[in-house]
Amino acid sequence: MLSVLNLLLCLIGMVNIVSAGGPSRIDLSNGERMKRGLPVKTPRKLYNATATSAHLARRSAAPFTGYLVATPQNNGGLKKRTPYDQTSYLYYDTDYGFLRLSTIASDASLFVWTTAGTEQYLGVSDDGDSTSDFGVCASVITIGSGVNMEPNAPGGPTSAIFSQCPTAYDNLTPSQASGQGIQGPIFDTPSSLPAIFSAWFLNQDDTITTDALYWVFDTPYYTDALGMALSASDFEPVDAVQTEQITLEYVASLA
């Protein structure tokens, strides 16, 4: 009887250990997320049953839509038949909360924008229509002593990943977004397709980086993420294990 009881207690202990587990992506603090090269968590506005404000309207349909197709520049990636060595498509990963690349065309997200020009917002349509469901922001994942994406920046390099814009950041002017760790009005949006993708970075020192490069990169925590930086080495602080420079192009449809 005693041995059976001991066995039962051991099994209960094992269940408790398994159920406790390690921290999930949702449980990670913003500091832990930054260490893993993840964007900070989107702030959530708690429901207030006594609030009398009207329900927010869905964003209006945008006049411009397109997909983003990536091409690796060096074809030297060690990962064969992946975005590192062949054409891939940009999509929003709802599990991770940022943009990633896939070699499957049907994975591609539809991007929408209301105005053609520089320092514009770019949106994503969840359901594939011409309505923007949320905006895209550049979210800093490595940083030096200032938010400056510049060569030899004091304290270390600044690099960014592209994530969903938190509500507090999806309606800022370029001057308000300058020097922020999350930036939305940075995209050079085209009036006709096809067109080359371009995004600026609004530095804390009031300069603008217009020549940032785009990368697919892996870390121990995720793969095939889209990043923006001046150099592949700028992702080293988040333990990037592989990087490949890419170019991105807006297209009207997928072949």
Q: Tens of pLDDT along 93-110?
A: 999 999 999 999 999 999
**Residues 6+ positions from 245 with CB-CB distance below 8 Å:** 72, 73, 74, 213, 214, 215, 232
pLDDT tens-digit readout, 216-230: 999 999 999 999 999
236 is a domain residue: yes
Place 11 in a pLDDT band, splitting at 50, 70 and 90.
very low
Mean pLDDT of the chain: 82
Place 8 in a pLDDT band, splitting at 50, 70 and 90.
very low
Q: In this predicted model, which residue has the larger pLDDT, 51 or 187?
A: 187
What local confidence, expressed as pLDDT, does residue 37 receive? 61
Total domains in the chain come to: 1
22 is a domain residue: no
Distance CA(187)–CA(197), nearest Å, equals 8
In eight-state DSSP terms, residue 232 is: G
Measured torsion, CA atoms of residues 198, 203, 206, 212, in degrees rounded to the nearest 10: -30
53 is a domain residue: no
pLDDT tens-digit readout, 42-56: 443 332 333 333 333
- H or E stretch at 244: strand 242-251
In Å, how far from its chain's centre is CA 44? 18
Report yes or no: 153 and 144 within 8 Å, Cβ to Cβ.
Answer: yes
Whether pLDDT at 13 is above 70: no
pTM for the model: 0.78
Of 3-7, 42-46, 114-118, 177-181, the least confident: 42-46
* CATH number of the domain encompassing residue 115: 2.80.10
Of 220, 245, 241, whose CA–CA distance to 230 is shortest? 245
25 is a domain residue: no
Report yes or no: 182 and 40 within 8 Å, Cβ to Cβ.
Answer: yes
238 lies in which domain range? Answer: 60-251
Q: In this predicted model, which residue has the larger pLDDT, 247 or 43?
A: 247
